[in-house]
Structure 1
Amino acid sequence: MAQSSCTMEALMLDLNRKMLDAKDNRELLIKFGQMQNDEERVIFALQLMMKYKVNLNYESLDKNSEKSIQLRAQGNKLFIGGWDYKAVEKYTESIAYATESSEELALAYANRSAALFRIEKYKDCINDINRALSLEYPDKLKTKLYERKGLCLTALGEPDAEASFKKALEWLDKMSLDEDKTKKLKIQLKKFISAPCVIVEIQPESAQYEFPEFETPNSEVPCASDAVAIKYTPELGRHLVATRKIRPGEILAAEKPFALFLMPENFYTHCSKCLQVSMAMTPCNYCVNAMYCSQACQVQAWEEYHEIECAITGPLLLLKFNMLGLFSMRLAILATQKGKYLDKLRKQIDEIDNHKDPRTKGFSADGKLHSDQYSSVYSLVTNTEKRSAPDLFGRAFKAAYITHILSRESNMFGEKLMLDCDALTKNAAATFVGGLILKHQQIIPSNIHSFGELRGLEDYEHGAAAMPFYSLINHSCDSSVTRRARKDHIILYAMYPIEKGEQIYDNYGVHYALTVKSKRQQKLLEQFYFKCECEPCTEDWPLYDKICSYQTQPLPQHAKNRLKKILQKHTKYIDLAYVGKTDQDPNMLNNLLRMIEVLYELVKRPCVELNNVVETVKHYYALQGNRFDVPLKPYEK
């Protein structure tokens, strides 16, 4: 594969310069602006790439023994410094770069097992030891691995510990130790064999929370409660309203994403398929960009999309493609079932495009909005008509470049197509997929949700999720709901009382208490193409540090007395929530939700006490969602 140090930004600048030099820039943008659909736009971009000789060479990210050794050495430094979790991440990266069945791979697994042992991840440690021993692991080092495995089994109270210590003794003569050290180690191993099994304290597994089931499911949206309904007006577009009174804390939906995408900076801490934290992942056998928590995730990812992505993600990353480009490709692969579904999908898309009722656009033949159906994603807003020609052309250029690499590095279009861009424009399968990629690049900024987790006290976004139902909820700078990601679903909770017929609001990332109005309005206009007219914006509510207490509001004294009484336990609940000990008071959540109800009834918003209670409840829910608890200090035992 030819090598290049280009980035997409540099390629785009070079193309613009060439068009300016040829004095074609203005004319071409006018022509591009007249294009009627995304497939035409991608064809146009491919033609320009050919006409102006855009650099189509690209690098790849391949398995590399030398790189694996360097990464393992970096992991060793972190391990010696006591930064075990960071060492695990670096060893995992070393595992990703090691060639299949190599000694480097065995050594990386073995080193990671040492860090896992120190953080008491004994089952994961044993798995890594077994992986190392199944590969070309040096005989002279096997004693230490069998000893570590025996200690793990002892800690877990397993009966096989003795056999592992005996194995350690068998390999002892292969170690390059002096006579004195060999003798001491032999005495230690014999002591382990003769000692009774002692179970040490093991870190508790993450709590498992019941998946919510609705007594009366929604007749149109399988993942939602019947407390909500999809409505449509020309002014509001599709949106959600309450069909009855909704109380704070009520679960309104539990949507499973149509697709998930892991942010590249988390490739070596989270599973590329399910996006869950994993300390003992195994790699894709061919690329360095995908790690998996289980064989099931690895097989499923390969069958669904990774067979196509495997050779392409690396080049795109080196070209500095971000999540937008990578996820837009992933959605196209899933939508077409790796290219096997093109003709049927064309017909389905034509039906959606010609659907007359905007409220039910993208619904399936059974009259329901299914989150696992591509039609639900395809029907989401793109804001194409509101985008400038340069904005659309930049996206089309990226979609065309992705299509070019897809055609050469995968069998997406039946076989690898070693075609130039001009010939590629005549391949109907390639241009159709390119058009889908471009459409996704317009859908994603306005609709894709974060898939996050709690790290310490902070929310952290480690992935993105295509959530077609949640994408229908309109924005408010003071939303009436909150979302929490769990392993397979994102749960939607009501945070305020919502009256029957009232619109339900989510937040698009700009809360009134944290961001000044002008910046909120600017971001919403630039990314979502609307001017926000929610209550905090129309009344220009202050930032958090300027929000008044209920005590300064003109309330009757009996109301203030009632509020003072009901808020008595809030300080205690803040402490419990932020140290993760909410189980110490089984009534904590109900009491907090009752505080919200009473505050919402009596005070005028914004009110600092209402904000504080809401944030405590959000943290309570966060503790029940995805978490990544990483020590801030190095190992000190």
Structure 2
Amino acid sequence: MGAFHILVEVDDVFKCASTLTTQDDLDFLESICDGGSAQKDTERAAKCREKGNLSFKSRDYTAAALHYSQGVCSAPLRSEQLPLCYANRSAALYHLQLHQECLNDIDRAVKNGYPSHLLHKLEERRTQCLTHVSGGQKEKDDRHGSASKNHKGPGSEICPQAAVGFSPEKGRHLVAEQGIAAGEVILTDRPYSCVLIPGMEEVQGGRGGLETEGGGFGTEHRRCHRCLSETLCPLPCDGCSYSRYCSTGCQRDAWEEHHHWECPLGADLMVMGVMSQLALRATLKAGLKNIQTAREPIRGKHTKSEPDSRSTTLVRRLSETGPPPASWTLGGPPAAPEEDGGNADWSKELWLMGSAVLRHMLQLRCNAQAIVSLQDAGATNSLVQSRREIRIATAIFPTLSLLNHSCCPNTSLAFSTGAAVDPSGSDLSADVSESVSEPRVTVTVRAARVIDAGQEILHCYGPHSSRMVTRKRQHLLQEQYYFLCQCEACSRTQEEGGTEGRQQPSGGGGARLEAGLLCFKCKGSLKRSGADRTGFMCSQSSCSHRVSSSEVSLVLQEIRVDLEKAVELMERERPDEARRTLCRGELADALARAYATVGDWNNAASHLERSAVAIGSQYGDDSIELGQQLFKLAQLHFNGGARGPALSLIPEVRRLLRLHSGPRCPELQELQDMEDCLRG
């Protein structure tokens, strides 16, 4: 291993790693991969079907469909379990009113050899579905046409007010050439490549019915492995039990682009991790010609490299799966360096591929972007719903990667995945997928506040000034991204001698929010103080205790730890215990949920107003966090019949949601429906 310490070129690191990798290393990798985990298995398919039957009998049709889908993916071609799983899934889809999807599964069951003596059941179900489908076909066709237009957008777009700048210190970055208004779209971008994160549990599901041998169903069970759209009836890969797709279009495109070579490596890739798989996909997609072109400007430049045998192992295993992709078989590639004892049977193409994969693996630590989605939390039948942000995939966004980090960014990011869903729950992607050549994932970057001409456009890599103190933020950024953050928030803290301050965004609601903060000393109300209004002072003249924003922030962070415990109790439907916990910890948000669970809307709204005060003080009056909290408060006012408070709150909620999520935010339609109802 000592040889690695004197190597500075990625090519040399890969070459050295290849000489050190032995057959014993490959055998060990195979032993820890549980090589059969991604293989088809008739017995496992039968067990999944049995679990689906149990969920079906308890009328948990969503869980049943997911279990049957797992059976479809596990069943080998031409096995008796495959048509049975398709047929059973069609029954669950029928009860979920997904009639077209039900018809598709009936056809698949028949095509794959469904027993003839049971066909009459499928034909009866087909007749019932056709009645429903024919009635709404015209309306659905119109929506399909609209969805198709949405899918054919360009790869990335930058607004006219922004441009790419360059400096030796920052490299390429995005700058505002003209003033950009708050809420304006700055950038839309699509990923060059993305990989679904396995094992990230969906936070909403039925009770009890969603358990598998490996735990709850995760994103890999409920989303297309190419476009990331949600689906209850995925199409399986014919070769492995892991990968699944929302349509034949995604299935075909994934196979041609990367899955033909990933399929035999399924278990290996799961062990090596998402970054290794993303590096391999990007390399396969780029092709030999593009890799050769990209290598020209970096020759002779030193790259910080650490030993990593995963790229070597991947290429060794890839060479066993068959010939390389067509894009990697161009004639006359540059000669590879001398093998120095390496495997003589490696082709020049595979050597270049392995070196490129290693380079990507080293760079993705700093350049990959998590794709996040808001999911409903708690049981589906709960009277109170809240939303939680989860990571569903990791991607390379070519243009988004131009944005540098700030702990107090001037932008907001919103992700959209897959196609729109019609009111019955049907995925509108089925008819348009044939023409899709890129993952249907989009990130939209909006200005979170006014950005003046000449200012750099920045977003947050994770550590945010409203959630974490400066020292911890700088430590995490140094550890992962190798730079010492000197952004506005970090520099301001240093100038103030280490006290945490927060820039107050412009916007309404500041006076209202101050009223709920209590003095740590006498419990009187706090008001903002100082020229920049970043601190607080007790309003009682007999006290006049002063509190910095950092103290308030730290207390709120401590409260959030207790809050998570109370929320867990709520999601396990134990509101009484949650209320007792919250009363001890004065955790207003979860206490509001506890009251709302039993239908006490007025008490719930009262406590949520207190929570909104804390949220606004920590994250800012123009923050998306405050918008989401006020959205819940509007729902409580509506449910409790408080017409005046609801109508007065809706415009502010609408402003905040539009600012960060744009005019197509689904919550905006709910706000409009509430307002229409309240106004009669």
If the TM-score is normalised by the length of the shorter chain, which range does it land in? 0.5 to 0.7
What CA distance in whole angstroms lies between the structure 1 residues aligned with 2:264 and 2:104? Answer: 28
Distance 2:22 2:648 in 1: 65
**Structure 1 counterpart of 2:76:** 99
Amino acid at match of 1:458: R
Name the amino acid aligned to 1:350: R
RMSD: 4.3
Query: d(CA) in 1 for partners of 2:450 and 2:409?
Result: 12
- Report the Cα distance in structure 2 between the residues aligned to 1:267 and 1:522, rounded to whole angstroms: 32
Q: Deviations over 1:406-438 (max 9, x none)?
A: 11123228999xx99931585432221111111
Matches within 5 A, 1:497-508: 497-508=450-461
Q: CA 1:281/1:590 → structure 2, altered by over 3 Å: closer, same or farther?
A: same
In the alignment, what sits opposite 2:278? 327
Contact kept, 8 Å, 1:88 with 1:116, in 2: the verdict is yes
Residues 526 and 207 of structure 1, relative CA distance in 2, 3 Å threshold:
farther
Structure 2 partner of 1:451: 371
Structure 2 match to 1:361: none
* Aligned position for 2:4: 32
State whether structure 2 residue 370 is matched by structure 1 residue 436. Answer: no
Residue 618 of structure 1 corresponds to which residue in structure 2?
660
More divergent stretch after superposition (91-100 vs 146-155): 146-155
Q: Residue 485 of structure 1 contacts residue 491 of structure 1 at CA under 8 Å; is this kept in 2?
A: yes
Cα distance between partner residues in 1 of 2:120 and 2:23: 64
Contact 1:153 1:159 in 2 (8 A): no
**Aligned partners of 2:136 and 2:189: how far apart in 1?**
43
1:464 aligns with 2:417: no
Q: 1:66 to 1:134 in 2, by over 3 A?
A: same
Q: Which letter does structure 2 place at the counterpart of 1:531?
A: L
Instruction: Output the amino acid matched with 2:266.
Output: T
Q: 1:570 to 1:413 in 2, by over 3 A?
A: closer
Task: Report deviation, 1:222.
Answer: 5.9
Q: 1:111 to 1:481 in 2, by over 3 A?
A: same
Q: 2:409 aligned with 1:352, yes or no?
A: no
Task: Pick the aligned partner of 2:157 from 197, 216, 223.
Answer: 223
Identity of aligned residues (%): 26
The aligned counterpart of 1:263 is 197
* Structure 1 match to 2:18: 46
For the 8 Å contact 2:83–2:114, the answer to whether it is kept is yes
Listed as ranges, the matches of 1:265-304 within 5 Å are 265=199, 266-304=219-257
CA contact (8 A) 2:489 2:501 kept: no
Distance 1:64 1:51, change over 3 A: closer
Taking structure 1 as reference, are residues 588 and 463 closer, same or farther at Cα in structure 2, changes over 3 Å only?
Answer: farther
Matched, 1:80 2:52: no
Matched to 1:467, the amino acid is: F
Summarize the Cα distance change of 1:409–1:302 in structure 2 as closer, same or farther, 3 Å threshold.
same
Deviations 1:472-495 (A, max 9, x none): 101112211122222432211111
1:538 paired to 2:513: no
Instruction: Give the match for residue 465 of structure 2.
Output: 512
What residue number does 1:483 align with? 413
Deviations 1:108-133 (A, max 9, x none): 11121122122221211121122112
Question: Given that residues 32 and 41 in structure 1 are in contact (C-alpha distance below 8 angstroms), is that contact kept between their aligned partners in structure 2?
Answer: yes
- In 2, distance between residues paired with 1:515 and 1:537? 11
Give the whole-Å Cα distance in 1 for the aligned partners of 2:150 and 2:530: 41
* 1:314/1:55 CA distance change after superposition, 3 Å: closer
Amino acid at match of 1:436: A
Q: Deviations over 1:258-293 (max 9, x none)?
A: 112222332321111211112221111112222111
The counterpart of 2:177, out of the listed 236, 243, 261, is 243
CA distance in 1: counterparts of 2:340 and 2:236, whole angstroms: 33
Contact between 2:414 and 2:661, CA under 8 Å: does it hold in 1? no
Distance 1:441 1:353, change over 3 A: same
Q: Which runs of 5+ in 1 are unaligned?
A: 1-27, 161-198, 337-341, 357-382, 557-562, 582-586, 596-612, 626-637
- Shift in Å at residue 348 of structure 1? 0.4
**Hey, what's the Cα distance between the residues in 2 that align with 1:403 and 1:69?**
35
Query: Hey, what's the Cα distance between the residues in 2 that align with 1:577 and 1:510?
Result: 30
The higher relative CO (CA closer than 8 Å, separation ≥ 6) is in 1
- One-letter amino acid matched to 2:396: A
- The answer as to whether partners of 2:82 and 2:109 remain within 8 angstroms in 1 is yes
Residue 423 (structure 1) aligns with: 343
Given the alignment of the two structures, is residue 412 of structure 1 paired with residue 365 of structure 2, yes or no? no
Give 1:140 shift: 3.5
Show CA shifts across 1:457-485 (max 9, x none): 22222112210111110111221112222
> How far apart are 1:590 and its partner, in Å?
12
Deviations 1:503-554 (A, max 9, x none): 111111222222333332222111111122223333447599x999555335
Pick from 263, 269, 275 the counterpart of residue 316 of structure 1: 269
Provide the C-alpha distance between the structure 2 equivalents of 1:622 and 1:322, rounded to a whole number of angstroms: 34
Would the aligned equivalents of 2:492 and 2:501 in 1 still touch at CA under 8 Å?
A: no
Q: What letter is aligned with 1:71?
A: C
Query: Take 1:421 and 1:470, find their aligned partners in 2: how far apart are those partners?
Result: 42
Which letter does structure 1 place at the counterpart of 2:355?
G
Rate the CA distance shift 1:293–1:36 in 2: closer, same or farther, 3 A.
Answer: same
Deviation larger for 295-304 or 47-56:
47-56
Q: How far apart in 2 are the matches of 1:53 and 1:285?
A: 29
Secondary structure, aligned partner of 1:409: coil
Residue type of the alignment partner of 1:512:
S
* Contact 1:577/1:616 (8 A) holds in 2: no
Local SS of the residue matching 2:323:
coil
Per the alignment, in what secondary structure is the counterpart of residue 261 of structure 1? Answer: strand
Question: Aligned to 2:222, what secondary structure does the other structure show?
Answer: coil
Q: What is the number of residues matched between the two proteins?
A: 474
SS for the counterpart of 2:342 is helix
The 2-side partners of 1:138 and 1:225 are apart by 58
Cα distance in 1 between the residues matched to 2:451 and 2:20 = 53
CA contact (8 A) 1:573 1:616 kept: no
TM (norm. structure 2) is: 0.61
Instruction: State the Cα distance separating 1:323 from its structure 2 match.
Output: 0.5
TM-score normalised by length of structure 1: 0.65
Contact 2:158/2:187 (<8 A) preserved: yes
Give the Å deviation of 1:151. Answer: 2.5
Q: How does 1:347-426 map to 2 (within 5 A)?
A: 347-353=292-298, 384-385=303-304, 392-393=306-307, 396-412=308-324, 422-423=342-343
The alpha carbon displacement at 1:211 in A equals: 5.7
The answer for the alignment partner of 2:40 in structure 1 is 63
**Which whole-Å CA distance do the structure 1 matches of 2:96 and 2:501 have between them?**
41
Whichever residue aligns with residue 452 of structure 1, its letter is V
User: How far apart are the structure 1 equivalents of 2:490 and 2:109?
Assistant: 59
Q: Secondary structure at the match of 1:36?
A: coil
* Distance in 2 (alpha carbons) for counterparts of 1:589 and 1:325: 47
Q: Which amino acid aligns with 2:9?
A: N
Q: Distance in 1 between matches of 2:66 and 2:13?
A: 41
Distance change >3 Å, CA 212–CA 304, structure 1 → 2: closer
Measured in 1, the distance between the counterparts of 2:489 and 2:148 equals 34
Kept after mapping to 2: 8 A contact 1:577/1:619: no
Gap change, CA 1:426 and 1:209, over 3 Å in 2: closer
Partner of 1:297, secondary structure, is: helix
Counterpart position of 1:252: 186
Offset of 1:242 from its aligned partner? 0.4
Partner Cα distance (1:33, 1:590) in 2: 61
Q: Which residue of the partner structure matches residue 631 of structure 2? A: 574
